[in-house]
A and B are shown apart, each in its own frame.
Chain A
Amino acid sequence: MLAVVGTVPDQGFPLVAGKATLQGDRLYIQGNEVPVNRGTPALLAAAIKTAETLGRPEPFGYLIGDIGLGDGSRLLYEYLTRHIKENDFSTIAFHYVQPDVDWHNRVLLVVKEMTRRPVLIADAGFMYAAKMSGMASEYDLFTPDVGELAFLADEDAPHPFYTRGFILHEENRVPDMIARAYSHKNASRFLLVKGKDDYVADQGGIRATIKKPAEEALEAIGGTGDIVTGIAAALISAEWEIEKAAVFSARANRLAGHFSKPTPATQVIEIIDHIPRALAELLLGKK
């Protein structure tokens, strides 16, 4: 089973742990309702759509409200250290939480004690903490966008906000940044880099480049990166190989985006609605 760890932008939202379901543009978990805009709810919605298509169970969510004060995230970290071992997850996707190296390390320590070591995916704030802690290589998949890849490539930067200019200038040279991230041990076993072109890479270099269908507007739409991570996480929990799942999820996101006829003003839920069709067409080999 897939577990997804993250936050929702509502300070009053309680700490919940349970199966997540989707109805229209609303996510439901333990009697609580969350609108799907972007962030972890978008990741969960994409994972649910993918799981439905594959006939797999819904993902398990660990969620809490946090608007950036970090209070919710710290409660969530603490809860995970006490409870995450209670379930047998095949895959865990860590997402929007306040980056905190100390808490990250405590959670990782507990996860490593699990009876069956899950496949570990990190994106957003948890990926920042994983890089800062020097533990990036403990993870199986990071899913950065190009700006975040520059941060992974900069061994000195404690956050993307402090990425050095000479690395930001290399943004048209994604392969170089990938190599730099690996050379400083700031990358996971596989990287799925989301951007104008998507890249799947490992220590040995670029494994795949995904360019089509090309929809330039997707870069402006908040939550498209979360969709890719959600689809990849659901595929990996369905026992797909990581590399294959990463390539497939990038293609599925592009295709779902293409079906939504996106403009820079499109909202992510409009793309999520097209995930089942995109997955079906890719699985049938039509695209």
Chain B
Amino acid sequence: MALLNSFFKQKALKTKKQNLDRGILIFENTSEVIRAERILKSQKWEIRVMGPPPEIQHGCDLVIEFSLIEELNILRTLQEAEISPLEAVPSTSPLLKPVDIFQVKDYGAHLMVRAANMKLTVEKATLTIVNVSGGGCPDVPYLAKELVGKTLNQAPAPREIGHTLCGYALQLAFEEMKHRCSQ
């Protein structure tokens, strides 16, 4: 019996590791799931419809599993189709929440805000974005190219042109910077 338990524990651990880069989208009702599935599959997203994990206490009886890294892009696709999931969470740890702690460094003439692994720095006098650093997804160098040199008001929001969770983290830093600079 102990051997059998050990086997199932190992199997569960292996499954958990295999799903670590997947997320799940939680919806209000099944018809939204079906609509979202149709739209996402028509745009060649690799997704699957499945039952929710036991930790999920809200939403309907179906969820959509997707590539977690591409959360920002997939949410934008659904938003364009006017579908709003209740939540997007990591499939292995559905109770995890996005970071909500910001580290701020004041350099005198410049201010830096960090959210998770992403840092955004502006020149205080002009509100010009002078640097973007951190991150590891391929949209980070792209976002930096599009943001650096523009003011906070001119620059596109990272959520509009980014695609990944790093882009999402930069969006949080961007919003926090705007909030701080408007005070």
Residues of A within 8 A of B (CB): 7-9, 37-41, 66-70, 72-73, 96-101, 123-129, 132-134, 145, 147-148, 151, 156-165, 168-169, 171, 216-217, 219-225, 263-267
Contact = CB atoms under 8 A, between A and B. Distances in A.
Q: Is the interface of B mostly helix, strand, loop or mixed?
A: mixed
Contacts of A217: 107
Interface stretch (B3-11, B28-36, B49-57, B68-76): B68-76
Contacts of A124: 135-137
Interface residues of B, number: 57
A220 B136 contact: no
Contacts, number: 199
30 contacts: A9-B139, A39-B140, A40-B141, A41-B141, A67-B142, A68-B140, A68-B167, A69-B163, A70-B138, A70-B163, A96-B136, A96-B137, A99-B136, A124-B136, A125-B136, A147-B114, A147-B118, A158-B96, A159-B68, A159-B165, A160-B117, A161-B98, A165-B99, A169-B101, A171-B103, A219-B105, A220-B131, A264-B121, A265-B131, A267-B131
- Leading 7 A-B pairs by shortest Cβ distance: A68-B139, A124-B136, A68-B163, A39-B141, A9-B142, A222-B133, A265-B130
Given A222-B131, A222-B144, A264 B110 contact: yes
A69 B162 CA distance: 9
Interface in B44-97: 67-70, 73, 90, 92-93, 96-97
Contacts of B17: 101, 132-134
Interface in B123-151: 123, 130-145, 148
Interface of B: 17-18, 20-21, 23, 67-70, 73, 90, 92-93, 96-101, 103, 105, 107, 109-110, 112, 114, 116-119, 121, 123, 130-145, 148, 162-169
Contact of A220 (B18, B107, B135, B169): B107
A27 to B, nearest CB: 13
Contact of B119 (A156, A169, A219): A219
A162 B136 contact: no
A132 B123 CA distance: 36
B117 A145 contact: yes
B28 to A, nearest CB: 23
Nearest to B122: A264
